[in-house]
Each structure stands twice: as structure tokens, then as C-alpha cells.
Amino acid sequence: MDLDLRKLRYFVAVAEELHYGRAAERLHIAQPVLSRQIRSLEDDLGAEIFDRSRRGTRLTPAGRQLLEDAVPLLASAEALLRRVTTAARDTPSLTVGFMPGITLTPATTAFAERHPGVNVRLLRTSWASQVEVLRDGRADIGVVRLPVGRQGLEVRPLFQEPRVVMLPQGHPLSGRASVTVADLAAEHLLQDPDAVPEWRDVALELRDGPRPEVPVIHQVEEKLELVASGAGICVLPLSTAGFYTRPDVVPVPVRDIGPSEVALAWPATRRSRLVHDFAEAVTETMAATEAMGGAETKGGTETMDATETMGAPGDRDGPGASR
């Protein structure tokens, strides 16, 4: 039996909406057509994938398993089409995903010296899309911030960096040289608590509940707008904070919070020489940067802490930034 990818796409829409009407609207097809296609898929599989009752549409155990497998399968099919289309072009190309605050210029320069005929494209990603673009083929390789879902990916750790809390100008803690997680216990966090487990363990809003709603945030700039307005705080990697600057948001180092981990990631099934060579270029340039920093420290210059790197909160207008 050959699976029909179109039917699988229809199934995923219904499984995610759990409502035939909304799924049909999302797919831009008539609801009766959608219902017939789902019935046809069930006939192909020899199993019921939806439990249809007066209580609504629910996934059966077979449906839950199908959803788990269908999403990566469809992403792989989409990635295949993108890669074939790219390979058909006269000029070879490599698309690299990267998170805000991460500078790839040394790596792209080193890679271009080895592959002068390759067109390197950079794709800015977000926390939500950094792995998605690898799975669906929009990017061949990505520089990601951990943790990420590693299924089907090759992940190579690169470095760690401190994280800072972003506070609105005038906040009682904004003039401090640094704070502890306990100092932030009464604050509203504008991100998933799992992203900052140290805060989650002491947060008053999680203990007292219900937790105020966190709006859907897609970009760093949106998060900073909310911080500046006094809607809450967020904890960000140091380099991301330094990438954005605005006078109404202040970064403050957090002494007892875990670092942000940066890694390379690419689909484990890829055997592309270009992907391998770019990974080597990133690793080498990152190692060179680390070595230079270490040499300076050994020469008698102490490594700057997060406050010195960005400027003391009370001495400048303070940068802001993403998760």
C-alpha cells in the first residue's frame, strides 16, 4: 500500500483542529470532501483514526500514532522537494538558519574561501522555527539555541554564554549590578516557565495561580515592547540582549541562572559535503574566537562579566532581546 501524502495532510489538519469544519476551512476545501478523504485514508490503513461521537472528534490510539509519524514524514517530503528544486538550479546554494544575536560572518567568510561558487543564504529563525526550518528543508543547517527536539537531527554543541533578565527602565531592580533568581520570584515571566526552570522553582505566580496569560510572541522586538510597557520580564542570552538596544529596557545579569547553550544542528540523514564543510567552518571559527578570549585572560586581562560586556545598567540606555 502506498500512502497518499495529500490524505495525510488532510488528516493532520483534522487532528490538530479536532473539528472537521475548521480543518476544511484551513485547507480551503468543502467539509464533505474532507470527510470522504479521511474515510478513504482509514480504509487504506485498515484502522479507525478518529472517534466521532456527540462529544466531538477525538483521536483513537491508531490516530495518535499516525499523527506522531505523519508530521515528520510530511516535513521530510517538503524538504525533499525543496532540495531537489535547489539542486536543479545552476548555482549551488546552502541555506543557514540562525538565531538572533549569533554572528556567522567569520564562518561564512571561511566557508566562501573554500567554496567560492556556492551561494550562502542566511535565514533568521525564532525559538519556534529553529528546528522546523531544518525538518521542512527551508534551511540545510542551523545554529540553534538548546534545548531542541533532537529526533532526526545531528546536534554539535558549540559554546555556552550567560543569560540576563530584561527589565523596564525604572524597575526597582534595574539599577542593580546583578540579581538572583529569588529577586525575580514576584515577577511575571513573558515566556514558557520551562525555558527558565530556576525561576519556575521560586515563582510566586506559579505557586499562587492562576498564572496571568502570556500572549503569543513571535519576535524579539515584540517581547521587548511588552517588557518596556511593564507587562513582565524575560530572560535572554547575553549575545541576544546585546544585539538589540533601546532606552526603555535594561539588561541585568542573573548570578544563579544556567547558561544559554548554542549548537549546530542539521538533519541526520543529510550527507551533503557543503553541510559538513559549513559545520567545520563554524566549529573552527568559534574555536578561534574562544582561543583569543582565553589568551587575553591568561595575559592578565580578566574576562568581563555580563555587566561589563554590555555596560552597567545604570550607566547606559541598556539593550534588550529574545528568549
213: left (phi over 0), alpha (psi -120 to 50) or beta: beta
Q: Please, what is the Cα angle at 54 between 53 and 55, to 5 degrees? A: 90
Contact between 97 and 136 (Cβ < 8 Å): no
> What's the rounded Cα separation, in Å, for the pair 280 and 172?
45
- Total number of residues shown for the chain: 323
pLDDT of residue 1: 65
pLDDT of residue 166: 97
E-strand stretches of the chain: 50-53, 56-59, 93-98, 119-124, 141-146, 153-161, 163-168, 234-237, 244-245, 249-253, 260-267, 319-320
Q: Environment class of residue 232 by beta-carbon count within 10 Å: exposed (0-12), middle (13-18) or buried (19+)?
A: buried
**Model pTM above 0.75:** no
CATH topology classification for 5-80 = Arc Repressor Mutant, subunit A (1.10.10)
pLDDT of residue 290: 58
Q: Which CATH architecture has domain 90-160+260-298?
A: 3-Layer(aba) Sandwich (3.40)
Residues facing 251 on adjacent strands: 166
Average of per-residue pLDDT values in the chain: 85
* CB-facing half-sphere around the CA of 232: CA atoms within 13 A: 20
pLDDT of residue 306: 38
> What's the rounded Cα separation, in Å, for the pair 29 and 24?
5
27 versus 317: the higher-pLDDT residue is 27
> What's the rounded Cα separation, in Å, for the pair 255 and 240?
18
Q: Which residue type sits at 247?
A: P
| pLDDT reading at 156 higher than 60 | yes
The gap between the terminal CA atoms of the chain, to the nearest Å, is: 45
Q: State pLDDT tens for residues 10-62.
A: 999 999 999 999 999 989 999 999 999 999 999 989 999 999 887 789 999 99
pLDDT of residue 98: 94
Q: State pLDDT tens for residues 177-214.
A: 999 999 999 999 999 898 899 999 999 999 887 888 88
Q: What is the DSSP letter of 189?
A: B
Cβ-based neighbour number of residue 279 at 10 Å: 19
pLDDT of residue 5: 86
| pLDDT reading at 288 higher than 70 | no
| pLDDT reading at 307 higher than 80 | no
* Segments making up each domain of the chain, as ranges: 5-80, 90-160+260-298, 163-258+304-320
Residue 139 banded pLDDT, cuts 50, 70, 90: very high
Q: State pLDDT tens for residues 210-254.
A: 888 888 887 889 999 999 999 999 999 999 999 888 999 999 999
> What's the rounded Cα separation, in Å, for the pair 189 and 65?
34
Ranges 75-79, 246-250, 253-257, 302-306: which has the least confidence = 302-306
> What's the rounded Cα separation, in Å, for the pair 310 and 58?
51
Instruction: Tell me whether domains 5-80 and 163-258+304-320 share a fold.
Output: no
> What's the rounded Cα separation, in Å, for the pair 230 and 225?
9
CATH topology classification for 163-258+304-320 = D-Maltodextrin-Binding Protein; domain 2 (3.40.190)
